[in-house]
Structure formats: structure tokens, C-alpha cells
Amino acid sequence: MSASTSTAAAAKLDTQPIMKMDPWLEPYIPGIEKRWELFAKWKSTIDSTEGGYEKFSRGYERYGLQVYDDGTITYREWAPNAVKANLVGDFNNWDRSSHQMERDPYGVWSITIPPKAPGISMIVPSLGRIERLPVWIKRVTQDLSVSPAYDARFWNPPADEKYTFKNSRPKKLECLRIYEAHVGISTPELRVGTYKEFTKDTLPRIHKLGYNAIQLMAIMEHAYYAFTGSERLIVPIAFGYQINSFFAASSRYGTPEELKELIDTAHGLGITVLLDVVHSHASKNVLDGLNSFDGTDHQYFHEGGKGRHELWDSRLFNYGHHEVLRFLLSNLRFWMEEYQFDGFRFDGVTSMMYVHHGIGTGFSGGYHEYFGDQVDLEGVVYLMLANDMLHNLYPNSISIAEDVSGMPLLCVPVSIGGVGFDYRLSMAVPDMWIKLLKETKDEDWNMGNIVHTLTNRRWREKSIAYAESHDQALVGDKTLAFWLMDKEMYTNMSDLTEMTPIISRGLALHKMIRLLVHALGGEGYLNFEGNEFGHPEWLDFPREGNGNSFQYARRQWNVVDDDLLRYKYLNNFDAAIQHLEEKYHWLEADPGYVSLKHEGDKVIVFERAGLLFIFNFHHTNSFTDYRVGVEVPGDYRIVLSSDDKQYGGWDRVDLTTTFVTTALEWNNRKNFLQVYVPSRVALVLALVSTI
């Protein structure tokens, strides 16, 4: 760590920058100072006792199985409650007494061994002998025909079989267009997909669409492949979120080397790769998880009820423990170094930041909710340390918070008192669309409320907007396409069938909603795989309740590849949005200036990044020579029309028309132009000089 960084941690927080950013924080400055002081204290401790982030976060190079140049292998594990520990495995025929480990004063056990499949057998007070998988193990496998429990595997392939990275990481993105993906469901076949298949088949699709980042879900080895239930509060209970082995890439999809190849190939395409990291909780499994590793319930977690999440049925970390911080920070460093990930989407951040974990609690936006006794300072400080470490060691890394609470300063640098994330997910946006489609007739949609939800974000804190994610795709809910078109998706998505009013409306609104969210909703955009083309049906993992079927645990790429089906139109439009953003960079521009929210006409007009966006949500009315305000004078032309035939529209808009501004003020803009806006159509206009 540099001297300047260390000095910054020891200095008193200057609150002027955050006060200038948000004067409403003034009554809560003591709370902000308190959490920053706790952060500074931890950082100082790490500096003085561990050599700073650089050494402290390399725990994975000391703990677990370490192979040295002379061929010897040392195994270390922190298990302070154990009174005796032995290493067992194939190498000693599982003899629980032959390879006794030595303990240091800090409860760290170690031994040097030959390279074979390992496990650790310990004697602990009251429980006697227990056996566990190594905490820092890098590969575990599961044979369901024998047991649902995982077995530890010593992964150390020969040099010629180890993957060598060929491509450097992409430069840090300022216009983040994220494709949220799950390797296992990325095959159209009735089975679990593989890393190899994702690299070969799915990456080219993502690249062609124009997304510049992938967020990989369910990579950290997890207890259940199946989805077993959902709490809309923050995250599904399973679906890859019940982590057993934090340093192991899921063996369901292939080998560690194949995951490295996937990431390296993405980098070669210029695609940033983010890991969906789960540090908010852990699987309660004992035999193959962290739970009761050394026979106590408080080694990595809080003891008693404080260490258990009542809705997720999982264990909660003790973020105030030195060794737990080593484990978690090293885990982040490991994925950055070993696999060359470019950053993280932190799952369940709301649960981490509040002692109530968000359970049974609504957030009104009142500042008293963010700086009182309900805040878990240890959780907040861990997130500050994590972001501070990532941005110090990897200046180009990206961190995204999944938070429903609206915590102020969440996406403000740690150095000035923030929690340090780069982005937060705008979780209210998809909820708004689902609520509208479920409960409100089209003619009753409130343009002002829609705009407010899309623009209601903290000043200078960047947000990732999305119309829908995996949450909406899961069984029990519906995707936007399914809410819009429902059963007619089974009968009328062919060009050989009638374009019914339901399908016409569904295609039109699907395109309009996604463009509006993309252009107005944030400083980044996210799409869950398949939703770009209105993937039919829902997402349901194999489980007892569905006969362990893979029918809905896959992506039906065949429907978008079939030129006779209308899914191609939605896919084409989604690609057009991504490529247009790549050209004009509205995601890194200032928030859009909304000049019109007309409730009678159902029209929304705004400008961003020099583009003029016009949305007509009226269910029947088209408008000829519709006057819209625009700040910059000149000649404009349409660069994107959702009514274009290649996007499944009715081709009512002449794309060759040039619109000349008139220098008269309109809707608080210095100029206006007049344009034909058909019903349920979105238009994007640009100055001719920029096309």
C-alpha cells in the first residue's frame, strides 16, 4: 500500500465534499463519521499488522493447498476450536491418524503432503471427531448418485494443461451495457450447459448484440442447482446463491481452465466480465460448507440468531472479525487474479447493511432509515474495505451493489465518506413495469410516474437500469414479453400467422419499454439473457416439484434463430439500441432533460447526449406534426424508429425525412421541431452532422 493511501485512512474525514453533494446529510454527519472512523481503524490495522491490502488479500496463496517449486504441498487451515487435526484423503487411504497437523498460536493448522484428494479430520471439544472439506479448496465435485454432499478435489493440472491467458482486460467502461447470464441454462438442450458451450455459442451472440459486459451468475460453487423458493426482498434462496465453497468455480459446468478460457475469449471480444459475488450469506451446510467448520457456530459467522437469515435459511458472516475479513477480501482478490474477472456485482447488499436485513421493512427514503441503530456498521465497513481494496489494487475494476434501500453515499468513493461502489441497481424500475402491466390499463398509464421512477436516483451516484432481470423470469413471475402477450406467444409469433392486436401491442411496448429504460433510467443498462428477444415461458430449475425437469431451465435460442418467427424483431431492435448507444454514449452523458410528460397524449420527450427521444404510448392516437422542444438548433433525422419493419413495426415513419428546427421556445427549450409520431412508437432523432 502506498504511503498516501495509508495516510488517507488515518486522517479525519473531510465532510465538505459530501455536504456539497447532498446538504440533506448534515444532521447525519456524526453517523457518517462514525462508520468512516471504523473503516479507517480497520484499514490501519491491516496496514500495520498485515502489510496492507496487497498482502492481506492474498490469503489464498497461504491457506488451503499450496504447491511449491520442489513439488511439496503445504496445507493450512484456520480452525481455532480444534484440539487436534489430521489431513485425510486418497493419499493415505483416509487414515484419520497418520497425518497429524501442527497448530500455531493463532489456531492455524498446517502440514506438508503429497498431491492427492484431501479432506480435514478434526477433534473438537464436545463433538469429538468431525470431518470437513478444506475452506480454501479450489475445486469440489458432486456425485448425486452417491450423495448431494460435495467432495474436495486437488486441482493442479500439468503445466501444458493449464490455461494461459492471451488477452488483456478491456479498458474500464463508462457506458456499461451488461448481459446477465447463467452458464447452466445457456443451452437449448434439456441438461446443464457448459463453460465450453457458452464460450463457443453464447459469447458470439452477446458480442453481435452489442453488449460490452457480461455478469455471470452462479459461478461460485453452490449447494443447489435448483431454485427452491423466492423472497422478493433481495435474492432467491437458491439459484446459485447458497455458496458452499467460495474459492471453487462450479464444477457443474466444467473445469477451472474452461472458465478461464471463457473469460479470456470474452476479453478478446472486448467484453468485460463481472462475477455475481455472494458475500451476504453462506450455505448452512456443515459437511461441505463453512458452517460449524471447527465445531462452533461462530467461527466465520455470528453465533445464535444474529448469524442466521430466517428467510434464506443460511448463515450470516461476522464482518467484524479479522480472519473473516481476510477470507472475504482474499476471495475477491482470488477471482480477480486467478480468473481475471473485471469486477463484481455484490449480491444482497441490503441484507449486509442493516441488522434487520430488510426483512419486513419498507424504505420510505427518509434519511433516518440509513444512519440509525438499524444499520449494521460492521457490514457497511466491510463493503467500504472491499471497494477500497478493489479500487486501490485494480483501478479499472467495477463494483455494483444490489440494494433496495436507497442508502445515501453507496456509490460515492470511500475516500470522501462513501461506501465506494461504482453503480447501484435500480431495483424499483422493473417492479414498476410489472405493476403497470398487471394492474393498469394502457390508457391509464401515468407518464409522470413512469418518468419519476426512471429518474429518481441520487445525484452523482450512478445506477444500472433494467426493465427486467432474472427475478422477473423465475417461476412465479412473468417476463415482460409474457405479461404482454401471454398465451398468444404459443400461437401467433409466426410471420405466417395473423398479427393480432395482442401481439402487435406486445411487440410495440416491449421495444418502447426497453429503449425508455435504457436511455432515461441510469448510467448503465442490464438485460437477462433471452429477454432481449422476449424469451417465451419462464425460468424454473429442475426440482422435485417439477419432476426434476430441465424443460424451463434452458434458453430456447431456436426461436430467435428461426427467420419465420417474430422473436427476431425484438432481437434486432435490442441490438440496434446497443449499437446506437455505442455511437452516442448516452449512458456516460448527464441525465436526460425531460421536456414533456403529456398525460392526455401519453407522450414523453427528452434529450440526452445530443439525441432527441420521443415516445408515444397512446394506445390509439397517432400525431401528425407533433411539436417537441429541443435545445440545440439544426437539421435532425431519425436514427432509430421502433416502427421500422425490421423490428416488427408497421413502417409508418419515413426515415429519410429531415426535420429543421424553428427558433421559438417550446416546453422550456430554445427551439422546436415537428414530427409524425404514430401510436405506440418510439423515435430517436440526431443532428444530421453527427450521423
Catalytic residue ranges = 347, 402
User: CA 177 → CA 22, 395, 535, 564, distances in Å?
Assistant: 28, 20, 19, 29
Which grid cell is 368? 433516518
User: CA 79 → CA 140, 289, 295, distances in Å?
Assistant: 20, 14, 9
The secondary structure of residue 208, as a DSSP letter, is H
The secondary structure of residue 168, as a DSSP letter, is P
| Alpha carbon 321 to its chain's center | 26
Nearest to 344 by CA among 334, 353, 352: 334
* Under 8 Å between Cβ of 280 and 351: yes
SS (H, E, C) 364-391: CCCHHHCCCCCECHHHHHHHHHHHHHHH
Give me the helices (H) in 167-235, please: 195-197, 203-209
Strand segments, DSSP code E, in 490-622 are: 524-528, 593-598, 603-608, 611-616
Q: Which residue has the cell 506438508?
A: 112
Distance CA 644, CA 648 (A): 7
Distance CA 342, CA 393 (A): 12
How many Cβ atoms from other residues are within 10 Å of residue 491's Cβ?
12
**Half-sphere exposure in the Cβ direction for 243 (13 Å, CA):** 24
Distance CA 562, CA 421 (A): 41
Q: Is 61 exposed, middle or buried (0-12, 13-18, 19+ CB in 10 A)?
A: middle
Nearest to 573 by CA among 619, 499, 622, 518: 518
Q: How much helix, strand and coil, in percent to the nearest 5, is found in the chain?
A: 35, 25, 45
Which grid cell is 638? 431519425
The secondary structure of residue 631, as a DSSP letter, is S
How open is the CA angle 663-667-669, to the nearest 5 degrees?
Answer: 45
How many Cβ atoms from other residues are within 10 Å of residue 630's Cβ?
25
* Under 8 Å between Cβ of 330 and 351: no
Which grid cell is 585? 454514449
How many Cβ atoms from other residues are within 10 Å of residue 29's Cβ?
15
Packed helices 567-584 and 501-520: angle between N→C axes, nearest 10 degrees = 20
* Under 8 Å between Cβ of 574 and 514: yes
C-alpha dihedral (76, 79, 83, 85), degrees to nearest 10: -40
Distance CA 348, CA 383 (A): 12
The secondary structure of residue 529, as a DSSP letter, is T
